[in-house]
């Protein structure tokens, strides 16, 4: 039996190959790889959105559990009956904020990486 060993982190970015610049997602896979190894600084260097996503996931889990604990009983008439009303109030505004912040992080990261690249400094060296 043969196994297909696909190394996603070794696949080249088509945008980078064609233009010489990094795309907004460049470094994301390597950031996850470093995060799984426990290298937070390295993960942040390759793509800060990975740590941001982990942080937001943790915050939302805490808010959900706190609202569920306060609720005591589930309100089956509610649209999000499992989450509780306290968690759902302000949910759209909170998600809109998280999304806008993520968009800002991606754009800023993209600009910084490419400005440094034009100066001759590569912030995304291949992982060993």
pLDDT in tens, 57-109: 999 889 888 777 766 555 554 444 554 555 666 778 889 999 999 999 999 99
Q: In three state form, how does the secondary structure of 37-81 look?
A: CCCHHHHHHHCHHHHHHHHHHHHHHHHHHHHHHHHCCCCCCCCCC
b/e 39-66 (16+ beta carbons within 10 angstroms → b): eeeebbbbbbbbbbbeebeeeeeebbee
CB 75 within 8 A of CB 81: yes
CB 75 within 8 A of CB 85: yes
DSSP 123: S
pLDDT of residue 90: 73
pLDDT of residue 40: 96
Cα dihedral 106, 108, 111, 113, rounded to 10, equals -70
CA 80 to mean position of chain CA atoms: 25
- Identify which has the larger pLDDT, 2 or 109: 109
pTM: 0.76
pLDDT of residue 101: 96
Quote the mean pLDDT of the chain.
Answer: 82
The CA distance from 96 to 71, in Å, is 25
């Amino acid at each position: 039996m043969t196994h297909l060993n696909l190394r996603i982190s070794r696949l080249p970015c088509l945008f980078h190959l064609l233009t010489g610049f990094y795309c907004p997602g460049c470094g994301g896979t390597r950031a996850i790889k470093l995060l799984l190894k426990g290298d937070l600084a390295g993960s942040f260097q390759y793509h800060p959105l990975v740590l941001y996503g982990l942080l937001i996931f943790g915050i939302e889990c805490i808010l959900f559990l706190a609202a569920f604990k306060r609720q005591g009983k589930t309100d089956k008439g509610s649209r999000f009956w499992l989450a509780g009303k306290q968690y759902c109030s302000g949910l759209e505004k909170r998600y809109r904020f998280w999304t806008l912040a993520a968009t800002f992080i991606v754009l800023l990261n993209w600009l910084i990486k490419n400005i440094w690249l034009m100066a001759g400094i590569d912030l995304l060296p291949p992982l060993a």
